[in-house]
Amino acid sequence: MTDYLIPEVRKTIPNFSFKFHDLRASYGVNWVDAVLQGEDTHQRYNWARDQLRKLLWHANATTTDRYLQYRQHMHQLEQADVDWNLHLLELIRSA
Protein backbone atom coordinates (compact mmCIF):
# COMPACT_ATOMS: atom_id res chain seq x y z
CA MET A 1 0.00 0.00 0.00
CA THR A 2 2.65 2.49 0.99
CA ASP A 3 4.95 1.51 -1.88
CA TYR A 4 2.40 1.43 -4.71
CA LEU A 5 -1.16 2.51 -3.96
CA ILE A 6 -0.60 5.69 -1.97
CA PRO A 7 2.12 7.10 -4.30
CA GLU A 8 -0.16 6.43 -7.29
CA VAL A 9 -3.12 8.22 -5.70
CA ARG A 10 -0.90 11.13 -4.66
CA LYS A 11 -0.18 11.81 -8.32
CA THR A 12 -3.68 13.25 -8.57
CA ILE A 13 -4.40 14.00 -4.89
CA PRO A 14 -1.13 15.30 -3.42
CA ASN A 15 -2.22 15.39 0.24
CA PHE A 16 -3.85 11.94 0.22
CA SER A 17 -3.45 10.03 3.46
CA PHE A 18 -4.61 6.59 4.35
CA LYS A 19 -4.97 4.59 7.53
CA PHE A 20 -5.98 1.01 8.21
CA HIS A 21 -8.98 2.33 10.13
CA ASP A 22 -10.33 3.87 6.90
CA LEU A 23 -10.68 0.39 5.39
CA ARG A 24 -12.12 -1.01 8.58
CA ALA A 25 -14.80 1.67 8.79
CA SER A 26 -15.70 1.34 5.10
CA TYR A 27 -15.91 -2.42 5.43
CA GLY A 28 -18.26 -2.15 8.38
CA VAL A 29 -20.67 0.27 6.76
CA ASN A 30 -20.64 -1.59 3.44
CA TRP A 31 -21.17 -4.92 5.20
CA VAL A 32 -24.30 -3.64 6.92
CA ASP A 33 -25.60 -2.21 3.63
CA ALA A 34 -25.12 -5.58 1.96
CA VAL A 35 -26.75 -7.50 4.80
CA LEU A 36 -29.77 -5.20 4.92
CA GLN A 37 -30.25 -5.02 1.17
CA GLY A 38 -33.97 -5.46 0.60
CA GLU A 39 -34.60 -6.44 4.24
CA ASP A 40 -34.28 -3.32 6.36
CA THR A 41 -36.61 -4.37 9.16
CA HIS A 42 -36.04 -3.27 12.74
CA GLN A 43 -35.22 -6.82 13.82
CA ARG A 44 -32.78 -7.34 10.92
CA TYR A 45 -31.13 -3.95 11.58
CA ASN A 46 -30.59 -4.81 15.26
CA TRP A 47 -29.08 -8.15 14.27
CA ALA A 48 -26.76 -6.49 11.75
CA ARG A 49 -25.77 -3.84 14.30
CA ASP A 50 -24.87 -6.48 16.88
CA GLN A 51 -22.95 -8.56 14.32
CA LEU A 52 -21.01 -5.48 13.20
CA ARG A 53 -20.17 -4.65 16.82
CA LYS A 54 -18.74 -8.15 17.19
CA LEU A 55 -16.92 -8.08 13.84
CA LEU A 56 -15.21 -4.81 14.69
CA TRP A 57 -14.62 -5.77 18.34
CA HIS A 58 -16.43 -2.73 19.70
CA ALA A 59 -16.84 -3.01 23.46
CA ASN A 60 -19.52 -0.33 23.37
CA ALA A 61 -22.46 -0.40 20.92
CA THR A 62 -22.36 3.40 20.80
CA THR A 63 -19.14 3.16 18.80
CA THR A 64 -20.88 0.89 16.30
CA ASP A 65 -23.79 3.34 16.09
CA ARG A 66 -21.37 6.09 15.05
CA TYR A 67 -20.25 3.95 12.14
CA LEU A 68 -23.84 3.31 11.11
CA GLN A 69 -24.78 6.99 11.35
CA TYR A 70 -21.89 8.08 9.14
CA ARG A 71 -23.80 7.99 5.83
CA GLN A 72 -26.78 9.80 7.28
CA HIS A 73 -24.51 12.51 8.66
CA MET A 74 -22.67 12.84 5.34
CA HIS A 75 -25.99 13.16 3.51
CA GLN A 76 -27.05 15.91 5.92
CA LEU A 77 -23.76 17.76 5.44
CA GLU A 78 -23.99 17.48 1.66
CA GLN A 79 -27.58 18.77 1.74
CA ALA A 80 -26.55 21.68 3.97
CA ASP A 81 -23.82 22.55 1.47
CA VAL A 82 -26.29 22.45 -1.44
CA ASP A 83 -28.80 24.59 0.46
CA TRP A 84 -26.13 27.11 1.46
CA ASN A 85 -24.93 27.42 -2.13
CA LEU A 86 -28.51 27.95 -3.32
CA HIS A 87 -29.00 30.62 -0.66
CA LEU A 88 -25.84 32.42 -1.77
CA LEU A 89 -26.95 32.29 -5.40
CA GLU A 90 -30.32 33.81 -4.41
CA LEU A 91 -28.53 36.62 -2.57
CA ILE A 92 -26.33 37.31 -5.58
CA ARG A 93 -29.31 37.36 -7.96
CA SER A 94 -31.32 39.67 -5.74
CA ALA A 95 -28.48 42.17 -5.34
Query: Which pLDDT belongs to residue 80?
Result: 96
Report DSSP letters for 21-44, one per residue.
HHHHHHHHHHHHHHHHTT---HHH
Cβ–Cβ < 8 Å for 91, 79: no
Continuous segment of H or E residues that includes residue 84: helix 61-94
Query: Which pLDDT belongs to residue 24?
Result: 86
Kindly tell me the sign of the dihedral angle through the C-alpha atoms of 63, 64, 65, 70: positive
Mean pLDDT by groups of 10 residues along the chain of 95 residues: 88 89 87 84 89 93 89 89 96 91
Kindly tell me the sign of the dihedral angle through the C-alpha atoms of 11, 15, 21, 26: negative
Query: Which pLDDT belongs to residue 58?
Result: 93
Q: In 3D, which of 46, 13, 16 has the Cα closest to residue 32? A: 46
Query: Which pLDDT belongs to residue 40?
Result: 66
Q: Give the dihedral of Cα atoms 7, 10, 11, 13; nearest 10 deg.
A: 170
